[in-house]
Structure 1
Amino acid sequence: MDFMKTLIFFATYNEAGNVAALIEQIAERAPAADIVVVDDNSPDGTADAIRKLGRNNVTVLVRKGKLGLGTAHLLAFCYAVANGYEALVTMDADGSHDPQHLPALMEKLDSGYDFVIGSRYMKGGACDYDGYRLRVSQAANVAARLLLSVKLTEFTTSYRIFKVEKLRSLDFGALLVGGYSFFLTTVVEAARRGWRLAEVPIHFRERGYGTSKIPPFEIFRGVANLMRLAVVKVFGGKPSWEAFSPQPCGVCGTGYSVVNAAQGRMCVFCGDGR
């Protein structure tokens, strides 16, 4: 398969015990892809663990502290656009997203879709969660499907692949939402723009080294955001289209990281709002 110039991204915070194995597995499944890691200054030496691998196709962007998962993904969007990539894969660093699914995601995108999600809940998918966590996750995705009228089974995982040319049509400022609500919001913004959406089945595994970083209040914030998005989907109308162009930050000097939003400008690398 003659595939696109591909970038694979994951965010890290205290993932030193996972990253080496993950990068090796990615290299086996997608040897031609580049990798960019956004690390929020992990005190366990995650960034150093990546650098010690000595891989020329791996870039580590170390931010000054914990600036949020959504802004880490937006930084990857900006990086992909600024560096001329054609496809962007996003995934978790904790071992829950198995690189064995990368070829299926890439092939699905290459078959004519704009945005493909790895789904635990479609036919052929699997999830290692059990008990309360499984029920909450299933309920969240069923509620999203019903309220948003988007025919997907998975809205909340970050295991995804995008055509970068389509990313440029998004309102990056609208994606400046807290925590895991970013993933729901991205689906809604894509659906409103008429993107061709698809899913492939994945096996969502228990994380490896480390502990979950999902705060307890995230469920409540997610419910509130889902209600807001349902209103936007129904009453928001057709979004305006203005191609995203990478903008430099005058504070940290990053050449592609400033996002414009209703509340003002924000650099998704350093967090500066000027």
Structure 2
Amino acid sequence: MTILENAIVPRYEVNQYAEKKSEYCLIIPIINEGQRILIELDKAMNSNIHKLCDIIICDGGSTDESTNQEVMISHGVNTLLVKRDVGKQGAQLRMGFYWALQRGYKGIVTIDGNNKDSIEDVPSFIKKLEEGYDFIQGSRFIQGGKAINTPLSRYIAVRCIHAPMISLTAKKKFTDTTNNFRAYSRNYLLDKRVNPFRNVFMTYELLAYLSVRADQLGYKTCEIPVARVYPKHEKTPTKISPLKGNFELIKILFNNAAGKYKE
């Protein structure tokens, strides 16, 4: 039995607007991102990202009308997957990874759908996949990266807690480990020792786990520079609550370090 045959994924519906056109896809998990995802997709179209890779929206159940068919097609989306089950980001990513791997993509790039990240940098991730890297982490904190209007609390949490913990667990230095702007090879995601298709990955566990498992297993990994821009005079776009959400992230880090997510 293969990983995909044994995969545990949430129930979801498929809205396919075009055939597979590329060897790579860009997965964007969203829920009620409104104008933010539409602006992000406009930026992608202006940079011809939709011609370089297939854009797959993984919707957690939006109710803001941003994902209606006409809007998706006009913004260059290849396929919209809509989760009809429990779970948050981890469940959305499992849904997207499963569908993409079944479709035969060689590699998957992921990015948040809240228009904070430099989606125009997607070609750099695909280049690294072509060079044989299996896990590529985008970072605003390395040379060439840009961290703009980063809230102080976020900066301290990433630089002083999250990144050091992930680096210690992976036994390799990473600098921007909460960043979902990253890429994975097909071989990495299909490794039986990795197996991302499990119900333990419901929220942010999968991001932490996949950040460290590649180096633990000897896969080729790297960081590349990206930009992350927080709005200057607006509420920070995030799905993580200040107290409960951050406590859960810390708990996930310790579970990850203890190997509790290993297959």
Give the TM-score, by structure 2 length.
0.78
Which residue is 1:95 aligned to?
A: 115
Q: Distance in 1 between matches of 2:181 and 2:101?
A: 19
Which residue is 2:216 aligned to?
A: 192
1:130 aligns to 2:169 (yes or no): no
Q: Distance in 1 between matches of 2:199 and 2:207?
A: 9
Distance 1:175 1:205, change over 3 A: farther
Which residue is 1:250 aligned to?
A: none
Q: Is the 8 A contact 1:12 1:93 kept in 2?
A: yes
Q: Distance in 1 between matches of 2:76 and 2:152?
A: 42
Cα offset for 1:53? Answer: 3.6
Which residue is 1:22 aligned to?
A: 40
Q: What one-letter code is carried by the residue in structure 2 that aligns with 1:223?
A: I
The count of aligned residue pairs is 233
Q: Secondary structure at the match of 1:47?
A: coil
Q: Is the 8 A contact 1:29 1:99 kept in 2?
A: no
What stretches of structure 1 of length at least 5 have no aligned partner? 241-274
Identity %: 21
Distance 1:220 1:210, change over 3 A: closer
Distance 1:29 1:153, change over 3 A: farther
Which residue is 1:220 aligned to?
A: 247
Q: Distance in 1 between matches of 2:54 and 2:89?
A: 20
Q: Secondary structure at the match of 2:41?
A: helix
Q: Is the 8 A contact 1:175 1:186 kept in 2?
A: no
Distance 1:223 1:19, change over 3 A: closer
Cα offset for 1:50? Answer: 6.0
**1:204-242 deviation digits (Å, cap 9, x = unpaired):** 111589842112312212222222222229xx9xx77xx
Of stretches 50-59 and 150-159 in structure 1, the one that deviates more from structure 2 is 50-59
- TM alignment of 1:86-165, pairs within 5 A: 86-128=106-148, 129-139=150-160, 140-165=162-187
Q: Is the 8 A contact 2:180 2:207 kept in 1?
A: yes
Q: Secondary structure at the match of 2:110?
A: strand
Q: Is the 8 A contact 2:230 2:236 kept in 1?
A: no
What stretches of structure 2 of length at least 5 have no aligned partner? 1-21
Q: What one-letter code is carried by the residue in structure 1 that aligns with 2:154?
A: R
Cα offset for 1:72? Answer: 0.6
Cα offset for 1:149? Answer: 1.9
Distance 1:176 1:97, change over 3 A: farther
Q: Is the 8 A contact 2:166 2:212 kept in 1?
A: no
Q: What one-letter code is carried by the residue in structure 1 that aligns with 2:119?
A: P
